[in-house]
């Protein structure tokens, strides 16, 4: 091989070495870039994973709290439902009681001579009638008390009689036909019984209407 050929071969070897060196350098540079890119991506992924983990923990805690709150409100709802059921039962019982009381009031009014159609509601309208009846009862009781005291004191048996004729209307002890033993009259033991003999057969309300 001549000198020129040897020199040319050496130059070619140097050129190949230079090319290989440039390619290696380029490959290494690209490799470094890829490694940096991968490192950055990994760092980002780690950060995102850490964030997701924190969010998951927060969600877990929140879910636990929500479950506790749900259990609490379910308990409250059951309690309120029980209270509502009790209130409804009490309301129904009160309605029945009010209806029964209303029927009783109507019955009292009828007993006092006030027809249902003329009752305006409540018991206030019956107060005057009840007071009047109470006074009449006290008067009649007093008459029977006085007669009982008289008979007890003197050993007599005076009884009540109502005298009703064209001349006189009278409630008295004894009888119009007196004899020497006038204490043995043919009357009735109570002034009420005596008054009943002149009462009409109808009820007081019907009698008043007649």
Which residue ranges make up each domain of the chain?
A: 1-87, 125-209
Mean pLDDT is highest, among 24-38, 72-86, 123-137, 172-186, for: 72-86
Q: Which of 192, 1, 206 is nearest to 113 (CA)?
A: 206
| Residues whose CB is less than 8 angstroms from the CB of residue 126 and which lie 6 or more positions away in sequence, other chains included | 108, 109, 112, 114
Rounded to whole angstroms, the Cα distance separating 76 from 70 reads 10
Displacement of CA 3 from its chain's centroid (Å): 122
- Average pLDDT rounded to a whole number, residues 182-193: 62
pLDDT per position as a tens digit, 78-130: 999 999 999 999 999 998 888 888 777 788 777 777 777 777 766 677 788 88
**Given this model, what pLDDT does residue 19 score?**
65
**Given this model, what pLDDT does residue 179 score?**
40
Question: What are the CA-CA distances from residue 139 to residues 134, 135, 144, 191 (Å)?
Answer: 9, 6, 9, 10
Rounded to whole angstroms, the Cα distance separating 96 from 131 reads 29
Displacement of CA 163 from its chain's centroid (Å): 62
Q: Mean pLDDT across the chain, nearest whole number?
A: 77
pLDDT per position as a tens digit, 38-71: 888 888 888 888 888 888 888 888 888 888 889 9
Whether the pTM exceeds 0.75: the reply is no
């Amino acid at each position: 091989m001549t000198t020129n050929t040897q020199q040319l071969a050496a130059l070619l070897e140097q050129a190949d070495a230079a090319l290989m060196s440039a390619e290696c350098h380029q490959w290494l540079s690209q490799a470094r870039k890829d490694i940096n890119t991968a490192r950055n991506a990994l760092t980002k992924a780690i950060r995102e994973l850490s964030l997701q983990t924190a969010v998951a923990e927060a969600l877990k805690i929140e879910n636990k709290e929500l479950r506790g709150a749900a259990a609490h409100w379910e308990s409250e709802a059951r309690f309120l439902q029980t209270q509502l059921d009790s209130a409804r039962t009490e309301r129904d019982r009160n309605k029945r009681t009010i209806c029964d009381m209303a029927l009783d009031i109507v019955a009292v009014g009828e007993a006092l001579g006030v027809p249902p159609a003329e009752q305006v509601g409540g018991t206030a309208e019956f107060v005057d009638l009840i007071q009047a009846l109470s006074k009449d009862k006290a008067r009649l009781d007093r008459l029977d008390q006085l007669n009982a005291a008289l008979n007890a004191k003197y050993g007599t048996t005076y009884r009540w009689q109502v005298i009703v004729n064209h001349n006189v209307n009278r409630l008295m002890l004894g009888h119009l036909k007196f004899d020497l033993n006038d204490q043995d009259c043919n009357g009735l033991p109570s002034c009420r019984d005596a008054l009943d003999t002149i009462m009409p057969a109808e009820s007081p309300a019907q009698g008043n209407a007649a």
